Amino acid sequence: GQQLNQSPQSMFIQEGEDVSMNCTSSSIFNTWLWYKQDPGEGPVLLIALYKAGELTSNGRLTAQFGITRKDSFLNISASIPSDVGIYFCAGDGNNNDMRFGAGTRLTVKP
Amino acid sequence: EAQVTQNPRYLITVTGKKLTVTCSQNMNHEYMSWYRQDPGLGLRQIYYSMNVEVTDKGDVPEGYKVSRKEKRNFPLILESPSPNQTSLYFCASSFFRGAVFGYTFGSGTRLTVV
């Protein structure tokens, strides 16, 4: 099946810093999604991307669907303590088989 | 409020004692799915259901059973739990399979098998 590589595995940053994480796929995806999981909760959808090259923002979050359709990145600007959590990329290709990355664990120090 | 409800949130059990984790959604979604989350491995799909009475294996189905007798419910059954099934479990639902609509997740069930 399709493999997703998400990096970095974890990040420790100072409040106010910008954050960048990315996902790469072994094959072409038609849709990329980014989820956030707060401690003790299930993942919640942050951003959905449907076209190669698409750049979408949601507040301080910006995500892009790579031109090759094999990668996506998520940026968080001016991080705050409530950004703490695990961020997952997800996507699917032609068989509607959605895959998740292993997650990026973000810690924000006040 | 539109949501996916899982019960229980926490469960400690002994090896071999059958258990069921319930999942219910109130969004009239046709697609439902179970995942397990383990450190460094992300979310791995156990079973999914495209509609009532239609279920299929995901990536890690061994040791699990599911049923879909009604549209809103999708219980996960562990007939004989083993310690390697200690994990955090999530139920999810959507209108259709695939990423187009995204999935709505429950709050999770943390299972410990001793």
Q: Which residue has the tokens 């038609």?
A: A30
pLDDT at A94 exceeding the cut of 70:
no
A103 chain-B contacts, CB cut-off 8 A? 42
Choose among A93, A89, A94, A82: nearest CA to A104: A89
Question: Is the model's pLDDT at B101 over the cut of 80?
Answer: no
* Mutation for B interface: A3, A100, A104, A105, most B CBs within 10 A: A100
Tell me, what's the pLDDT at A11?
96
| CB-based contact A83:A38 (threshold 8 Å) | no
Higher pLDDT, A40 or B114: B114
Closest CA to B20 of B8, B34, B32, B33: B8
Q: Which amino acid is at A80?
A: I
Q: What is the predicted pLDDT for the residue at A2?
A: 59
pLDDT attached to residue B96: 82
Six token digits for residue A55: 């750049």
Question: Regarding predicted confidence, which is higher, A5 or B102?
Answer: A5
Residue B54, number of CB atoms within 10 A of its CB: 11
Question: What does R_g of chain A's alpha carbons equal in angstroms?
Answer: 13
Q: Is the pLDDT of residue A97 over 80?
A: no
Closest residue in chain B to residue A4, using alpha carbons only: B42
Contact predicate A60/A47, CB 8 Å: no
Q: How far apart are the CA of B14 and the nearest CA of chain A, in angstroms?
A: 23
Nearest to B108 among A42, A102, A103 (CB): A42
Alpha-carbon distance B57 to nearest alpha carbon in chain A (angstroms): 12
Say yes or no for a CB contact (<8 Å) between A40 and B108: yes
Of the candidates A96, A101, A102, which has its C-beta nearest B97's C-beta? A96
Distance CA B53, CA B71 (A): 9
A32, containing H or E segment: strand A31-37
Handedness of CA A108, A60, A74, A47 (dihedral sign): positive
pLDDT of residue B40: 85
Asked if the Cβ–Cβ distance from A43 to B90 is below 8 Å, we say yes
What's the CA gap between B111 and B89, in Å, rounded? 7
Write out pLDDT tens, residues A25-83. Answer: 988 999 999 999 998 899 999 999 999 999 999 999 999 999 999 999 999 999 999 99
Region A16-24: mean pLDDT is 97
Phi and psi torsions of B71, nearest 5°: -60, -40
Q: For B32-91, how does the pLDDT look when each residue is reduced to its tens digit (9 = 90+)?
A: 999 999 988 889 999 999 999 999 999 999 999 999 999 999 999 999 999 999 999 999
* Whether the predicted pLDDT of A92 surpasses 90: no
B105–A30 CB contact, under 8 Å: no
Per-chain mean pLDDT for chain A? 92
Q: Determine, for residues A102 and B98 on separate chains, whether the beta-carbon distance falls below 8 Å.
A: no
Tracing tokens 């991080």 back to the chain, one arrives at A79
Q: Are B113 and B85 in contact (CB under 8 A)?
A: yes
Which residue in A4, A98, A103 is closest to B98 by CB distance?
A: A98
What does R_g of chain B's alpha carbons equal in angstroms?
Answer: 13
Separation CA A35–CA A5 (nearest Å): 15
In Å, how far is B95's CA from the nearest CA of chain A?
A: 13
